[in-house]
Amino acid sequence: MFKTTLQMLNGDSMFSSSRQSSATDVIDKSSTPAIPVKFRNDIETLQEYYAQDFREGLEICLTLKDALVLLPRDRARTDAYNALACWMKDNLGVSLTIKSQKTK
């Protein structure tokens, strides 16, 4: 215990290096998160479509028909966009809602 106290007072490299590594673990929320490859084209398309308005708090409501034109999928169902909508909400703060004409 006494040795540990002396090492702390002397600024031993073991303690300073562990302190540095914990400081790098802090995530900077102001930086843009890395966009996964599977969502990259979709997000780029939406950013082009909404140009300067693409920011945190944006709510995007599309019909399924429009979504399939902008963001093509193999399955023509609203649940094909769930993963994209969840990722955008969690990481970008943008709400994406796809509505089908069949569901009321």
Please report the DSSP string for 62-89 in residue order: EEHHHHHHHS--SS-SGGGGHHHHHHII
pLDDT of residue 41: 94
pLDDT of residue 66: 94
pLDDT of residue 7: 60
Share the mean pLDDT of the chain. 78
Measure the CA–CA gap between 48 and 73, rounded to whole angstroms. Answer: 19
pLDDT of residue 102: 81
pLDDT of residue 65: 94
pLDDT of residue 54: 80
Sequence-ordered list of residues with C-beta below 8 angstroms from that of 100, at least 6 positions apart, any chain: 63, 64, 77, 78
pLDDT of residue 50: 84
Asked whether residue 99 carries a pLDDT value surpassing 70, the answer given is yes
Q: What is the pLDDT of residues 62-96, one digit of tens each?
A: 999 999 999 999 999 999 999 999 999 999 999 99
